[in-house]
Amino acid sequence: EMVTRQGVEQELRHADHQKDVFLATLAHELRNPLSPMTSAVALLQMPAASVQARDKALVVLERQLRHIVRLVNDLLDASRVATGKLSLDRGRVDMGELLVIACEMAQPQARQQALQLELHRPADALFVEGDAVRLTQVFANLLSNACRYTPHGGRVDIALAAQAEWVVIAIEDTGIGVEPAMQERIFDLFEQADKTLQRGNTGLGVGLTLSRQIIELHGGTLSLHSEGLGKGSRFTVRLPRLLVDTLAPAPRAAPPSAALLRPLRILIADDNVDLSESFADMLSAHGHHVEVVHDGEAAVLAARRTVPDIALVDIGMPRLDGYGVARQLRADVRTQGMHLVAISGWGQDADRKAAIEAGFDHHLLKPVAPEDLAQLLGEAHRAFEASRPGELR
């Protein structure tokens, strides 16, 4: 009994230590982008700042904001890993084309490190059945790690090949390597091989855990081999091969939809004043007529008064939440045919299901890039109108 208790206590101490390390890493990773963003905002507020300086500050803000979004997505994915709630949108995937995209994503980082990044693939296409977005995420992460941990002037090689019923992808670098005792632990959540301060931004230690789980959901394996510190690393991914003679002809991709075809009346209901006003300015610039309110009861009153084409409704609002807004509008004969779009920071499957059950037609996850919002709403609204041809106004 004492041995068992001591083992449990040791595990709890280790888990508590891992939590402290993770929180410290998260704080460090968030402060890194926040510091240049603070400086950029201060520069934009200076009346004497030149146009070039302002443009540079905007580039900094955009780049660092993307970094913060990536960190938040890593945290969400870590939660999905821990609860086993990762899901896949499967389809036919050409692994050669997918790796070309992943390499293009890694090229800026490779150039910064003066690395030789080369993709070696056969002339014939190799297909798997999988989620192209998630698989791209895996290989982008593996290549990012290879570039990050390979010294200046090194090499990163990606080899794609077929072995019987498998598609095999090997990513080999001339980097810092991994000591033998670490080569399996490196796939544990929040674990990192190199935690030295000299390495700079190290991330949250989620990427490899998530990558292995995604590959295993595809029926494959992800493994690491390294001869030791200073001797480089090789990550090998094996995925079940989808044979060419079993493939149906690929459907012709529809051309991407443009923004909305006509000016629309749009109601935005969100208690975040900065967010709602920025959305309103952007949509107004596209020629739409926009009204903004900041609580749920005001949203219901405004919708009943003007009956907009689209209501863009936040879920968490004072006085009446977004679910209540949707239910009241669907219950009113004047507004029951409106196009209702939920926009929320809650993005689990249960949250999307709750939004649909409340009466929303679509669910958008924050943050929505302003330049993407008009197109997203345009595509969604045209599909909505096509599904309800008798209710066009």
Specify the pLDDT at position 16.
76
Kind and range of the H or E run holding 91: strand 91-94
Specify the pLDDT at position 387.
65
Instruction: Quote the CA–CA distance of 14 and 34 in Å, as a whole number.
Output: 30
Contact 92, 127 (CB under 8 A): yes
Query: Residue 314: pLDDT above 80?
Result: yes
Instruction: Quote the CA–CA distance of 235 and 231 in Å, as a whole number.
Output: 13
Q: Please, which pLDDT band fits residue 240 given cuts at 50, 70 and 90?
A: very high
Query: Residue 202: pLDDT above 70?
Result: no
Question: Which of 24-33, 284-293, 318-327, 338-347 holds the top average pLDDT?
Answer: 318-327
Q: For 174, how many CA atoms within 13 A lie in the half-sphere containing its CB?
A: 14
Which CATH superfamily is 91-245 part of?
A: Histidine kinase-like ATPase, C-terminal domain (3.30.565.10)
Specify the pLDDT at position 251.
47
Residue among 260, 239, 222 nearest 385 (CA): 260
Average pLDDT of the residues in 296-302: 95
Instruction: Quote the CA–CA distance of 136 and 224 in Å, as a whole number.
Output: 19
Comparing 194 with 76, the larger pLDDT belongs to 76
Domain spanning 2-83, CATH class: mainly alpha
Instruction: Quote the CA–CA distance of 216 and 237 in Å, as a whole number.
Output: 10
Query: Residue 328: pLDDT above 60?
Result: yes
Query: Residue 97: pLDDT above 80?
Result: yes
Query: Residue 219: pLDDT above 70?
Result: yes
Query: Residue 4: pLDDT above 80?
Result: yes
Instruction: Quote the CA–CA distance of 94 and 127 in Å, as a whole number.
Output: 5
Specify the pLDDT at position 223.
92
Share of the chain above pLDDT 70, in %: 77
Specify the pLDDT at position 393.
38
Average pLDDT of the residues in 371-387: 68
Q: Are strands 339-344 and 310-314 parallel, antiparallel or unpaired?
A: parallel
Q: What residues does each domain of the chain span? A: 2-83, 91-245, 265-391
Instruction: Quote the CA–CA distance of 356 and 165 in Å, as a whole number.
Output: 41
Question: Which of 19-23, 78-82, 123-127 holds the top average pLDDT?
Answer: 123-127
pLDDT in tens, 150-191: 999 999 999 999 998 999 999 999 998 888 877 677 777 555
Tokens for 388? 């309800």
Q: Please, which pLDDT band fits residue 372 given cuts at 50, 70 and 90?
A: low
Question: Which of 53-62, 177-186, 327-336, 342-351 holds the top average pLDDT?
Answer: 327-336
CA 123: distance to chain centroid?
31
Tokens for 122? 């056969």
Tokens for 101? 């995209």
Average pLDDT of the residues in 232-251: 77
Q: What is the CATH number of domain 265-391?
A: 3.40.50.2300
Q: What is the mean pLDDT of the chain?
A: 81
Q: Please, which pLDDT band fits residue 259 given cuts at 50, 70 and 90?
A: very low
Specify the pLDDT at position 390.
43
Task: Compute how many other C-beta atoms are within 10 angstroms of the C-beta atom of residue 285.
Answer: 11
pLDDT in tens, 26-77: 665 676 677 778 888 888 888 888 888 888 889 888 877 877 777 777 677 7
Specify the pLDDT at position 37.
84
CA 187: distance to chain centroid?
20
Q: Please, which pLDDT band fits residue 389 given cuts at 50, 70 and 90?
A: very low
Query: Which of 88-92, 232-236, 316-320 is predicted with the least confidence, judged by mean pLDDT?
Result: 88-92
